[in-house]
Amino acid sequence: MSFLPVATHCVETAAGVFGLGREELLKLILATEEIFSYLSSNVCRGEILDIRCVNGLSYVRVEFRFSVSALDMGALNIAASVPCASEDDMAEMGLAIASRTIDRLNIIAERQNRICLSIEKDKDYPPAPETSIAPIDVTGALTVETPDTEGVKRYVTRVTQGPHDPLRPPFFHYPGKVADMVTAGDCQVVTAVDAKGECAGGVLFRFLTARIVEVFGPHVFYQVREGEIAAMLLDACIARTARTKAIGLVNLTGLPPSSQSQFELLGLMNHYRQDGESIARQAFYRLLHEDPGCLVFTDECLKDYLQREYGRLFLAREIREVRDQGEMKAGVSIFSAEVRRERSMASLRPLWPGADLDANVKRHLRFLKEEAINNIFFALDLGVSWHASLMTVLITNHFRPALIIPFAGQADLLIFQYDRTEP
């Protein structure tokens, strides 16, 4: 704990240099303080704890890296110390408090029992102007281009000033932020322009996982030529990703009808707003290469579901059933949790198996409900055999399989969504 001032000073100095505003900086320092104290007291006491500050241009990330022994694992669950509901007790919770003051918190397992716990604080940007840009009148042939910073900002402003979409990611409200995201390489934008430089549409895409690219759009601003513009933007997006690490494109926020025939329907996701209203949105997918096929593991309870879905999607999978045959299970499980407060969303993933899977799921649910998180997802990697043992646990705890994202993990990811209609 004597190193706490070193840690906070390091983050304060670096984040200040990286351009984080004063208010955000204070929140990041507070979160750093909580996490450092928590980790050094509960998780890796007396051990080396590396802290790294990363300039993401549109955000600052602080990474905490450390080694853990099996005994300490449980403390890494974001909901590890949530058994009590009283606010006084909550004050003692390092990870929980940190998760409230920053924008994203994530825990991932690295090689050799190393853990990276990262927190991110977004920079503050002015929102897109409310004054509408004049409607465009596109003439003649269109070309696809990679826009410069001004072009990116103009595209984002037009998207924001278009029809309201509650599921549009918040960054679309901040043109300067997207421009920084593009500069940082966090995403790419291509636009369709005419000879006068009028932007008729655009598409934004970024790596969602190591091999899956998430597409936002195509957004078309000149409806008279909607089909043509959407098709050329999509072609450009595919051309730019076809020879990268990406194996597939996914669209989780909605595709224009003219583009849907180029994708495959994965399923339906329900998003719950703060007011409780739910919005259903179709999720689409497109492979960029031949399906090489793979082996997936399942519990008996979801075997039929997987067979049905893989049949519908024409995906070649060898489905292998995993059974509990009484083998010993020991230790505490650990789940990673990515909390996105701006979307009232949390994504959980299993990192380590343990004998307490059911209790751990329940703890996380309790914590996230108390944090008023409305959209709780749980992703299982169907290529990891022990993840299958969570299937029954999740279903018992009112999660429902929502969709499969092919190759988003070691094999496919099966996304469960918590059913809010359940108690």
Partner 1 sequence: MIEPNLDLLVPAYVREFEPYIPSKPDPELQKLYGCDHLYRLNNNENPLGPPPGAQEVIRRFPPPRGAVYPSGDSYYLRREIAACHGIDPDQILVGNGANEVIAFVIKAFCGQGDNIITADKTFAVYEWVAVFSGIEARVIPLKEERFDDRAMLHSIDAATKVIFLCNPNNPTGTYWSRDTLRDFLDAVGGRQIVVIDEAYCEFVEADDYPDGIALINDYPNLIVFRTFSKMYGIAGLRIGYLAGDLKVVDMIRRTCVVYSVNGIAQEAALACLRDETGHIRRTRQLIREGKAFLCAEMAAMGMPIIVGEGNYLIVKLPGSDTLAYRKLMHEGIMIRPMTGFRYPNHIRVTLARMEALEAFVAALKKILV
* CA-closest candidate to residue 394, choices 362, 352, 354: 362
For partner 1, the closer of residues 45 and 245 by Cβ is 245
Burial of 208 from C-beta contacts in 10 A (0-12 / 13-18 / 19+): middle
Look up residue 131 and give its DSSP letter: S
Residue 320 near partner 1 by CB under 8 A: no
Residue in 63, 198, 228, 264 binding partner 1, rule: CB under 8 A? 264
Residue in 4, 224, 279, 316 binding partner 1, rule: CB under 8 A? 316
CB of 240 to partner 1, least distance (A): 9
Residue in 45, 196, 245, 308 binding partner 1, rule: CB under 8 A? 245
Residue 190 near partner 1 by CB under 8 A: no
Please name the residues in contact with 292: beta carbons below 8 A apart, sequence gap of 6 or more: none
CB of 243 to partner 1, least distance (A): 7
Tell me the CA distances in angstroms from 90 to 32, 33, 157, 187, one per residue in order.
Answer: 17, 16, 40, 37
Site string for partner 1, 215-244 (x = CB under 8 A): -------------------xx--xx--xxx
Contact 31, 25 (CB under 8 A): no
Residue 289 near partner 1 by CB under 8 A: yes
Site string for partner 1, 96-115 (x = CB under 8 A): ---------------xx---
Residue 185 near partner 1 by CB under 8 A: no
What is the C-alpha separation between 151 and 134, in angstroms, rounded? 15
Contact 66, 114 (CB under 8 A): yes
What is the C-alpha separation between 188 and 259, in angstroms, rounded? 19
The one segment of 98-106, 119-127, 191-199, 289-297 that binds partner 1 by CB under 8 A:
289-297
* CA-closest candidate to residue 375, choices 336, 347, 398: 347
Residue 23 near partner 1 by CB under 8 A: no
CB of 257 to partner 1, least distance (A): 14
Residue 286 near partner 1 by CB under 8 A: yes
What is the C-alpha separation between 324 and 272, in angstroms, rounded? 35
Residues that bind partner 1 in the complex, under the rule CB under 8 A? 111-112, 211, 234-235, 238-239, 242-246, 261-264, 286-293, 314-318
